[in-house]
Amino acid sequence: MAAPSAEGAAEPVRFARVVVDSRLPQLDRLFEYRVPPSLAGERGGVVPGVRVRVPLRGDRQATGWVVEVADAREWDGEVADVEQVVSPVPVLQPEVWALARAVADRAAGGAADVLRVAIPGRQARVEKQWLAQERPPLPPLPERDVAEQPLPGLVEARRRVAVECAGGVAQVDAPGEPGGAAWIGRWAIDLASLMRQAVERGEQAIAVVPDHRDQRQLRIALTAALGAERVVELDARQKNPERYRAFLRCLDGDPVAIIGPRSAVYAPAARLGLLVVWEDGDPLLSEPLAPWVHARDAALVRQAQAGSALVLAGHSRSSEAERLVELGFLEHERVGAHRVRVLPAALADDGRRIPASAFAAARTAIAERPVLVQVARPGHAPGLRCGDCGARARCTTCGGPLGQRSRGSAPACRLCGRLAASWRCQSCRGQRLVEVGRGSVRIAEELGRAFPGVPVVVADGEHERLALDGKPRLVVATRGAEPIADGGYGAVLLLDGDALLALEGLRVAEEAVRQWATARALAADGAAVVLAGVAGTVATAITGDTTVPFARAELAERRALRFPPAVRTASVVGHPDAVADALAALAEVEHLDVLGPVPAPAGIVKGSREGELERAIARFPYADGARVAGIARGRVLAAAARPRKPGAPARLRIRFDDPEPFDGL
């Protein structure tokens, strides 16, 4: 104990509760430390939210975040001192802590794992700048365009809605863009208008987008609607200093619009008025890091905690959003109007991929406008097979499928990129390869011959094009890589429908509809959209003007099969005895059933060998989520305490709502 000060009254000792930045489930709780007098000040001292170094048993040190500071101690064991305040900035805001804790609990994971996604790494220089800067008052909001505004009063009434956005593109002023203006999707303008509602009330709005292409459009729309000073981008593609600068900008607490990738759902916003998830069906919103929480689920937890308005929006309705509508948790809304003519077309049965009606639509449109052709795969020939025995040609190194990037180029592995110059068939030793399917490059070549004199542009993962002018040209794009054309496309051809739907997987039809709706949205008003080789409810989702009946039918089917999102799932992976132990513990949940266990494929957990691990899928009602997560956490903890060989995979891993096992169904 420190000696009493000169005044005779000792400073009261305070205690900090700290969440330690560790992946270990055993350490996923608050640890209590004494605040030494040297770190007791409000400025630069131990206050809630700051990053600290704390001692752990032995002479180990850990970093962590101060969650709270209290006058009395709760822990009656030995208490160590906080070692150091790493940074005086309170980067862990109370509402983000509450969110991380709740999200981790729901997923049977660690709060620190969530915080690692939520809080970017510290950048001392950026931080110094931020601490030193004076913040001038925000300029007034730009005049509101009084033209029709979607969903007035949404934020004030704290509504929760599933919004189906009609397509179409529009031009907005964009000082940073070439020509001072840009064409973007109308969805972005509508969402910017909704976010402005929150900012006008002095609150923050957060929008989560799947990728940087959508983020660019929303940034442009928000900058026009709010002014650049009120738009904060938490872009994963930014360098760390920029990310940290944007993060600190959120901490200012100003009424701003915050946009970013899936991690933006955790952005600090103490007065959150509106939370938006754009294209909530996009697989990119699924977090690949433990505890694998989908941005939509994190948004639902956050909305409940913050009491904000909530918008799940897209050009198509996801089955998850539809479930929430049918439950009465979300209201259905449709925003915008987009008039296109959608023409279903049968595939020509001579094997030619491009139906005559698609050619006709393209020929009519190409005189004045660009034409978009959406294809399933990049390259020349997406697949190759043996010309003698018909076996699929595979990479000799990794077993991946061989393909051809351009006409006459050497076959190469589509997974590892290795060239297979002197390929021989593994089964019959044949040397002749034949092409399977047509990729973007080959379709572009064929269209180029069919439309002599018309420029052809390929847009795919390798050739990225964000935007194009409105001159006539053919744009061949893979799904998700479609550029925005100034004024919209004169025609949109959706060519590989049959190939897409031939894939196996629970979400295949839903994902195809989403990708077609996204491409359709890029058409100019009045344009023709040709959907080739697709029939039934999937086709009606695109030929009709709403995808909701399709989503409803999807959900009904999943209910009948007891598949997600009608139920929640937990995939249990690990050593057979650990899996058996976890399943035995879960068996006490009444409405829970189990698929498996079956031997898990190699590499299911990093470094695992074929057959070494098992996997089972537990299915249970949403109402049992908390109970199942609690049991799961207990089993993970018990498994973590068992010793294992160094470098060996974790004995037990439980992942909630994992889409992967259903990909092949």
In angstroms, give the least distance from the CB of 637 to DNA.
9
Residue closer to DNA by CB (options 22, 409) is 22
**622 Cβ contact partners less than 8 Å away, ≥ 6 residues apart:** 567, 568
The H-assigned helical ranges of 403-496 are 440-450
Considering only CA atoms, which of 22, 110, 20, 113 is closest in space to residue 637? Answer: 110
Residue closer to DNA by CB (options 55, 599) is 55
Residue closer to DNA by CB (options 58, 664) is 58
Rounded-to-integer distance, Cα 481 and Cα 102, Å: 35
Residue closer to DNA by CB (options 47, 366) is 47
**153 Cβ contact partners less than 8 Å away, ≥ 6 residues apart:** 159, 197
Q: Strand, coil or helix: what is 34? A: strand
In angstroms, give the least distance from the CB of 428 to DNA.
47
Residue 354: both structure tokens together = 């491009």
Rounded-to-integer distance, Cα 281 and Cα 554, Å: 13
In angstroms, give the least distance from the CB of 25 to DNA.
8
Answer for which of 31, 97, 187, 656 binds DNA (CB under 7 A) is 31
Residue closer to DNA by CB (options 110, 533) is 110
Answer for which of 368, 644, 660, 665 binds DNA (CB under 7 A) is 644
**How far out from the chain centre does Cα 575 lie?**
30
Query: Which H/E stretch holds residue 554?
Result: helix 548-561
In angstroms, give the least distance from the CB of 55 to DNA.
6
Answer for which of 341, 641, 660, 665 binds DNA (CB under 7 A) is 641
Cα distances (angstroms) measured from residue 469 to each of 54, 179, 182, 466 = 57, 11, 10, 11
> Footprint of DNA on residues 222-281 (CB under 7 A)?
none
Supply the angle between the helices 295-306 and 94-106 in degrees, to the nearest 10. 130
Answer for which of 56, 102, 170, 595 binds DNA (CB under 7 A) is 56
In angstroms, give the least distance from the CB of 638 to DNA.
9
- Asked if 303 contacts 206 with a C-beta cutoff of 8 angstroms, the reply is no
Listed ranges 27-35, 39-47, 244-252, 406-414: which one lies at the site for DNA (CB under 7 A):
27-35
In angstroms, give the least distance from the CB of 86 to DNA.
17
> Footprint of DNA on residues 495-514 (CB under 7 A)?
none
Q: Strand, coil or helix: what is 176? A: coil
Answer for which of 43, 60, 135, 449 binds DNA (CB under 7 A) is 60
In angstroms, give the least distance from the CB of 369 to DNA.
59
Answer for which of 2, 11, 26, 603 binds DNA (CB under 7 A) is 26
Rounded-to-integer distance, Cα 181 and Cα 164, Å: 26
- Asked if 270 contacts 93 with a C-beta cutoff of 8 angstroms, the reply is yes
Residue closer to DNA by CB (options 226, 613) is 613
Answer for which of 27, 347, 467, 499 binds DNA (CB under 7 A) is 27
Burial of 271 (0-12, 13-18, 19+ CB in 10 A): middle
Binding of DNA by 577 (CB under 7 A): no
Q: Phi and psi (nearest 5°) for 27?
A: -100, 10
In angstroms, give the least distance from the CB of 640 to DNA.
6
Query: Which H/E stretch holds residue 224?
Result: helix 212-226
Residue closer to DNA by CB (options 75, 622) is 75
In angstroms, give the least distance from the CB of 17 to DNA.
8
Cα distances (angstroms) measured from residue 178 to each of 118, 140, 173, 183, 468 = 34, 26, 11, 11, 12
- Asked if 617 contacts 571 with a C-beta cutoff of 8 angstroms, the reply is yes
Binding of DNA by 57 (CB under 7 A): yes
Strand pairing report for 331-335 and 160-165: parallel
Site for DNA (CB under 7 A): how many residues? 24
> Footprint of DNA on residues 71-100 (CB under 7 A)?
75, 77-80
Listed ranges 22-30, 215-223, 281-289, 468-476: which one lies at the site for DNA (CB under 7 A):
22-30
In angstroms, give the least distance from the CB of 656 to DNA.
21
Q: Strand, coil or helix: what is 588? A: coil
Listed ranges 29-37, 160-168, 211-219, 276-284: which one lies at the site for DNA (CB under 7 A):
29-37
Answer for which of 8, 58, 179, 180 binds DNA (CB under 7 A) is 58
Answer for which of 14, 21, 33, 300 binds DNA (CB under 7 A) is 33
Residue closer to DNA by CB (options 272, 578) is 578
Residue closer to DNA by CB (options 52, 592) is 52
In angstroms, give the least distance from the CB of 115 to DNA.
18
Residue closer to DNA by CB (options 524, 632) is 632
Residue closer to DNA by CB (options 82, 330) is 82
Answer for which of 436, 454, 589, 640 binds DNA (CB under 7 A) is 640
Residue closer to DNA by CB (options 77, 664) is 77
- Asked if 264 contacts 258 with a C-beta cutoff of 8 angstroms, the reply is yes
Residues β-bridged to residue 618 = 570, 594
In angstroms, give the least distance from the CB of 104 to DNA.
17
Binding of DNA by 606 (CB under 7 A): no
Strand order through the sheet with 60-70 = 30-35, 14-20, 60-70, 51-56, 84-87
Rounded-to-integer distance, Cα 62 and Cα 220, Å: 41
Residue closer to DNA by CB (options 28, 164) is 28
Q: Strand, coil or helix: what is 413? A: strand
Binding of DNA by 643 (CB under 7 A): yes
First to last CA, the chain: 65
Q: Strand, coil or helix: what is 183? A: strand
Binding of DNA by 61 (CB under 7 A): no
Give CA angle at 462 (457, 466), nearest 5°: 60
Interaction site with DNA (CB under 7 A): 24, 26-27, 30-34, 54-58, 60, 75, 77-80, 640-644
